[in-house]
């Protein structure tokens, strides 16, 4: 014997499995909190307002599918979180514009040869060790001019020494470095040595 369910019985069965959602109550109760939640996730208010609006549109479309296994607010925030993630992905994709290969060739660094950069790094480490072995008065003069970006006059004033002494000390350090390591070249005849 087959049982048939009347239309009224189907409606009662549907109501038992789908408790229904009061969208207006969800909106009035959770909109402000939902907006703050989404704004923390997406980073700006305009996108957050769009996500919240889309969330309630989605809720109204899918209210019939709410199973009642969670609280309506949990379901609402889950939808908002998915839409916020999508918005963040879209925002990230919009940040990067496609460029053609010619553009990349224009900004290529001619001095970005890894072997050459490694060599320069090694020389810099050796020069740093050499400077550490210099007497303090010579090293401080050299550092004031090179590290401090001071002119010879400014270094002389800072260190309370004559400008000729500054020139002499810097010249001695440069000569010592040049004699030890020479001038580095980039292979194009351009010298990047110590002047």
With cut-offs at 50, 70 and 90, classify the pLDDT of residue 56: very high
Tell me: pLDDT of 10 over 60: no
What would the pLDDT profile of 151-190 be if each residue is shown by its tens digit?
A: 888 888 888 889 898 898 888 888 888 887 765 444 444 4
81 shares its domain with 135: no
Comparing C-alpha atoms, which of 21, 16, 11 is closest to residue 63?
21
Output DSSP code: residue 65.
G
Let me know whether 85 and 16 are in one domain.
yes
- Give the alpha-carbon dihedral of 63, 68, 73, 75, to 10 degrees: -70
Question: Looking at the 3D structure of the chain, how many domains does it have?
Answer: 2
| 73 and 24 co-located in one domain | yes
Helix (H, G, I), strand (E, B) or coil at 21: coil
* CA–CA separation, 141 and 118 (whole Å): 28
Together in a domain, 17 and 85: yes
Percent of the chain exceeding pLDDT 90 equals 17
The residue behind tokens 């990349």 is 104
Question: Domain with 140 in it: what CATH number?
Answer: 1.10.10.10
* Whole-number Å distance between alpha carbons of 57 and 63: 10
135 in the same domain as 68: no
Domain housing 78: 7-95
List 191's β-bridge partners, or say none.
185
Lookup result for tokens 């499995």: 17
Same domain, 47 and 118: no
Whole-number Cα distances in Å, 82 to 23, 29, 54, 85, 92: 19, 20, 11, 5, 16
Q: Is the pLDDT confidence value at 35 over 90?
A: yes
Q: Which of 19-33, 46-60, 161-175, 176-190 has the lowest mean pLDDT?
A: 176-190
Same domain, residue pair 176 and 125 = yes
């Amino acid at each position: 014997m087959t049982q048939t369910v009347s239309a009224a019985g189907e409606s009662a069965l549907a109501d038992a499995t789908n408790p229904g959602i009061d969208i207006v109550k969800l909106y009035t109760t959770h909109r402000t909190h939902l907006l703050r939640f989404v704004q923390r996730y997406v980073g700006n208010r305009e996108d957050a307002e769009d996500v919240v609006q889309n969330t309630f549109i989605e809720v109204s479309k899918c209210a019939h599918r709410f199973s009642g296994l969670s609280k309506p607010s949990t379901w609402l925030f889950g939808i908002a979180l998915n839409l916020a993630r999508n918005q963040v992905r879209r925002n990230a994709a919009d940040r990067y514009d496609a460029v053609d290969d010619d553009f990349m060739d224009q900004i290529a660094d001619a001095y970005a040869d890894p072997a050459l950069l490694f060599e320069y790094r090694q020389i810099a480490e050796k020069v740093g060790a050499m400077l550490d072995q210099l007497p303090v008065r010579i090293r401080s003069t050299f550092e004031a001019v090179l590290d401090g970006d001071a002119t010879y006059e400014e270094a002389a004033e800072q260190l309370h020494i004559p400008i000729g002494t500054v020139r002499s000390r810097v010249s001695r350090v440069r000569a010592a470095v040049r004699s030890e390591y020479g001038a580095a070249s980039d292979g194009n005849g351009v010298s990047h040595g110590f002047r």
